[in-house]
Amino acid sequence: MLLEVRNLKTFFHTFRGTVRAVDDVSFTIAKGEILGIVGESGCGKSVTGFSIMGLIEEPGKVAGGEILFDGRRLLDLSDNQMNEIRGKEISMIFQDPMTSLNPVYTIGEQIEEMLTLHSSLSPRERRKRCVELLRSVGIPNPEGRLNDYPHHFSGGMRQRVIIAIALAAEPKLIVADEPTTALDVTIQAQILKLMKALVRERNCSMMLITHDLAVVSEMADRIIVMYCGQIVEEGRARDVIENPSHPYTQGLIGSIPKLNEDKSRLETIHGIVPNMFELPEGCNFSPRCRFCREICFGVKPDFRLANTEGHLIRCHSACGVSEGGNEV
């Protein structure tokens, strides 16, 4: 296992109370694997990513759990040690290609900065490497574009540059937080294909955080579905998409309008995501759940195995589990 997250808890302490943004989340990422984390806004998927990167800022705090990366406990490392790992071994791709590049440096300088920090290449080698990187992410005429500033690039091209920067130090893990949300579909398709190809080619791992189930189903090997700070379903991509077992996942898949289906009405999940300050007493999803029973209101469900191997859900009701479920 390249990354192992155990019982991660990240809380935000605000004036109105404590938000349990990530509450007892555990998962692993194997070498060369693409793990997709899906959920709607506020479900804690981005906070999970930031926690792994050690980028949680006040008023947030990692309140418990363990993050093992390549055998090292990330939560025990000092800021300096974390800086060594960030960028070199774990790098991050952010959502907004318009703001994640610094407008006052050329893109050549920004890629080189990464190389200077995390490699021992000579200036000339660095230059060569920059060109290679830009070429590998599909930027035409890379030599000529090294000295351009970010505003000379369109959104899709900037995202390619950001990917090039993320790849510069040959990281073992890439955390991509909504990498294509700000892009148009035709560009999104280009970028997704590029990312998948690069990950496979370099045999690095990727944690893809997105709200778009369709995107993860095209990209990921395994999928985690999050709701209100907890993982509600986890499994191999095909299992989760074709056999969604948690009512929330089922609802999510039902609410996506599909190109190849003719239906007059969409299935929906009624209601809205609960306020993070006043989570329900039992299952977080109980107020919106179609299959909700008495136990769901009172008792938090455990994370347990669904039908197939490696397919886990957090639900009392699904898959005909016997009445009463698992008492905590």
Q: Please report, as ranges, the residues that interact with another protein according to CB under 8 A.
A: 40-41, 154, 156-157, 184-190, 192-193, 196, 211-215, 217-219, 238, 241, 251-260, 263-270, 272-273
Both structure tokens of 83: 């800086």
| Minimum distance, C-beta of residue 35 to another protein, in the bound complex (Å) | 17
Measured from the CB of residue 91, what is the shortest distance to another protein in angstroms?
A: 23
Q: Which of 78, 53, 74 has its CA nearest to residue 65?
A: 74
- Smaller CB distance to another protein: residue 66 or 212? 212
Tokens representing 81 are 């040690």
Choose between 13 and 258: whose C-beta lies nearer to another protein: 258
The least distance separating another protein from the CB of residue 119, rounded to whole angstroms, comes to 31
Q: Locate all alpha helices (DSSP H) within the chain, ordered by sequence.
A: 45-53, 79-85, 107-118, 123-136, 142-145, 155-167, 185-202, 213-219, 237-242, 247-255, 294-298
Closest CB to another protein among 84 and 242?
A: 242
Shortest distance, position 274 Cβ to another protein, whole Å: 10
Compute the least distance from the CB of residue 211 to another protein, in Å: 7
Q: How far is CA 29 from CA 189, 214, 220, 259, in A?
A: 24, 20, 11, 32
The least distance separating another protein from the CB of residue 162, rounded to whole angstroms, comes to 16
Of 103 and 257, which CB lies nearer to another protein in the complex structure? 257
Q: What Å distances lie between residue 256 and 211, 264, 265, 322, CA to CA?
A: 11, 13, 11, 31
**Selection from 168, 191, 169 nearest residue 178 by Cα:** 191
> Closest separation between CB of residue 149 and another protein, Å?
17
Residue recorded with tokens 């455990």: 302
Whether 7 and 66 have beta carbons less than 8 Å apart is answered as: yes
Query: Residue 68 or residue 291: which is nearer to another protein going by CB?
Result: 291
- Return all residues near 297 (Cβ < 8 A) that are at least 6 apart: 280, 281, 282, 283, 286
In single-letter form, the type of residue at position 261 comes to E
Nearer CB in complex with another protein: 75/189: 189
The amino acid sitting at 43 is C
To another protein, the closest distance from the beta carbon of 311 in angstroms equals 17
Gap between the Cα atoms of 22 and 184, Å rounded: 30
Q: Nearer Cβ to another protein, position 197 or 305?
A: 197
Nearest residue (CB) to another protein, 184 versus 294: 184
Question: What is the DSSP secondary structure assignment for residue 320, as one 8-state letter?
Answer: G
